[in-house]
Structure formats: structure tokens, C-alpha cells
Amino acid sequence: MTTSWLDQSIMHTRGIGRERSIVTHELTEAKQGTFHFTIGPYSQPVMTVKPGDRIVVETRDAFDGKVKTEQDLPSKVLTMPFVNPQNGPIMVEGAEPGDTLAVHIESMAPRGPNPRGTCCMIPQFGALSGTAFTALLGDSLPEITRKIDVDEEGVYWSKRVTLPYRPHIGTLSCSPEIDSINSLTPDQHGGNMDLPDMGPGSITYLPVRTPGARLFIGDAHACQGDGEVCGTAVEYPSLTTIRVDLVKGWTLEWPRLETAGMIMAIGSARPLEDATRIAYKELVLWMEAEYGYDRWDAYMMLSQCGKVRLGNFVDPKYTVGAGILKTYLVP
């Protein structure tokens, strides 16, 4: 159904793999072996793919599967910083610093027995709690684990409320150039952006900073509200199918995203206004560079029609997407 817009997407019009016949790879838990908790250039690749290839990835949930029942409290069963396990790194042939990796999420299906979904209130974590950075002297909020049935029809939150199944990938990134960044932190490389727009149908564009790109992926959410206010989404193990492609010589400072109807620039920083500034600045410059807008016309027009998505304001950096409808980009 999304064929038409995909054909016109940046990925398909500028990616070098668009002509190739698709090869499908499987990145099972077994093949992954050791999952990663830090995203950088120092880990061992799990596979190499070509631009245009499809990869079917078995992701673990952000708790690494250790929160099995509502009696499993995070402070008991988790050991920091070993949370948010990542699949990868996946090497992409021909990727070099200065290129951009396109990641199209084709589908996300739940894995494992129900209740597959997990949401926790974790001590000293979450937007309405003192945290490691907003360091306060008060007691922590209560520690609570919720286990939730999830299928492709819905997220069965409680007897009272069923939420729609709105899957997306919380953490997606290529490796930074020399740093290795824990998988809880989003930054210029992508990372733990927790952006609900990053679901099936979307294409994320990630800056390539090391040879081979070194793609990491994990942290599937069955749904998530804007800001992920309590600190966790409905975390679940997924079967996520992606296609990757390579846009040579398209050099990004920050990740970007494209959907059928919108383009979006993504910023991650603290305080939250800085994340928003980054996203809007990147969007203005993008409109100027590639869509024929004068810089100040773009800036003033976004003041009338820009769309902001708050990804998270709970991670070590906060993430905001600033977008514009494609209908306004037509000449």
C-alpha cells in the first residue's frame, strides 16, 4: 500500500541499492549471540549486508527479558548499565563516513508468549521523579511492574482500557566515530530516541560515521505516548523487518525521518528546548538545501505549520522531532 510514496522517497530515489534484487537476512537471537549495551566502533559485527537488503531481526525487550512477572522489580532483576540490549552491529557494504544509511521499517510483529509487554516504574527514573541528573533528596516513587498482553490487534493495558498496537523501534543508530555510547542515550548518532513515528512504514536516515556504518537496532515498543513520561513504553520482544539502503555523499549532522506524508528532523539534547532547537534548525536547513526554500521563508512558515513530536523527556538526552507535511514541499 505504501509502494507509491516509497517509490518517491529519498531512500528509493537516491539509495544505491534500489536496483538490486533484495536479499533477505535473518538476525535471530541465536545468530546475534551477545547483545550490546553500548553503541560504538569497538564491538564485533554480526553480519554484513548490501545496500537494498532486507534483515529480519529478533529484538529483545529493553529489560533483556528479565522482567517476567509483575513480581519482578527492576531494582532486583536488572543490573545497570546492562539494559536496552541492541542487535548488531550490522555492516553495510560500501558505507563510508559522510554517507547516510536509510532504514525502512517494513513490519514489526510481537514475539514470545503473552504477557509479552512490560512497563515499569523504575526508581529514580521517569519524568515526574527525581533522577540521576535531576538529583533530589526525596524518596523515590513506588517501584511497579506491569505485564501486558500484546498482539497485532491491541495492547491490553487493563480491564478498562485497550490501547492500539502502534509499534515502533525505540533505539536505532549507526556507530559514532570514536565514542561508544550506552544504549539508553540518544545523540547525534541516533540511539535511544524513543520516537513513536519510527514505526512500520517509516524511513530513518542515519549519519554514517565509521566504515561499514555499523547499524544497531533494538528497543521495540508496542505503543508509546508522547514523551514516554513514566520512563518506559510497552516494551516487548519483536520480529522487526527492515530494509537498508545507502545514500552516498549525503552528510547529516543528526538523524532524519520520512513517512508517507511528512519529513522530520530529529534532535536530542538537554534542556528540552535545545532538542527542539536542533530539530527545527535542521529542518529549516533541509528545506533550504533540498526543497527550494529561502532560509527565512522556511523559518517563518514553520512557525505556522511545523509539527513537533516529543519522543522522550526521560532519557539522558531528550528527543524531539520537527516535521513538515510533504504537501508544502511541492514546488
For residues 218-237, which are near a second copy according to CB under 8 A? Answer: 223-234
Near a second copy by CB under 8 A: residue from 56, 77, 272, 326: 272
**Nearest approach, Cβ of 19 to a second copy (angstroms)?**
33
Question: Is there binding between residue 72 and a second copy (CB under 8 A)?
Answer: no
Please tell me whether residue 179 binds a second copy under the rule CB under 8 A. Answer: yes
Half-sphere exposure in the Cβ direction for 105 (13 Å, CA): 29
Assess 171 for contact with a second copy (CB under 8 A).
no
User: Order of strands, edge to edge, in the sheet holding 262-269?
Assistant: 24-27, 54-59, 238-247, 100-110, 203-207, 256-258, 262-269, 318-325, 307-312
Cβ-based nearer residue to a second copy, 12 or 209: 209
Residue range at the interface with a second copy (CB under 8 A); choices 63-71, 86-94, 242-250, 291-299: 291-299
- Residue (250 or 280) nearer to a second copy, CB: 280
Least CB distance from residue 95 to a second copy, whole Å? 19
Q: Is 281 in the site for a second copy (CB under 8 A)?
A: yes
CB 64, min distance to a second copy, A? 14
Cβ count near 248 (within 10 Å): 15
Judged by beta carbon, residue 94 or residue 154, the one nearer a second copy is 154
One-letter amino acid of 278: I
For the beta carbon of residue 95, count every other beta carbon within 10 angstroms: 24
User: DSSP string of 208-271?
Assistant: --STT--EEEEEEES---TB-TTS---B--EEEEEEEEEETT---SS-EEE-SSEEEEEEEESS
By the rule CB under 8 A, 296 interacts with a second copy: yes
Segment near a second copy (CB under 8 A), from 52-60, 102-110, 158-166, 167-175?
158-166
Examine residue 42 and tell whether it contacts a second copy (CB under 8 A). Answer: yes
DSSP letter for 281, please.
H
Angle at 311 between CA 310 and CA 313, to 5 degrees: 80
Give the whole-angstrom CA distance, residue 189 versus residue 173. Answer: 6
Q: Of the ranges 19-27, 47-55, 59-67, 278-286, which one interacts with a second copy (CB under 8 A)?
A: 278-286
Least distance in angstroms from the C-beta of 17 to a second copy: 29
Q: Is 319 in the site for a second copy (CB under 8 A)?
A: no
Min CB(56)–a second copy separation in Å: 26
Interhelix angle for 295-305 vs 272-290, to 10°? 130
Stretch that binds a second copy, among 11-19, 59-67, 87-95, 275-283 (CB under 8 A): 275-283
192-221 positions binding a second copy, by CB under 8 A: none
What DSSP string describes 130-173?
--SSS--SSPPPPPEEEEEEEETTEEE-SSS--B----EEEEEE
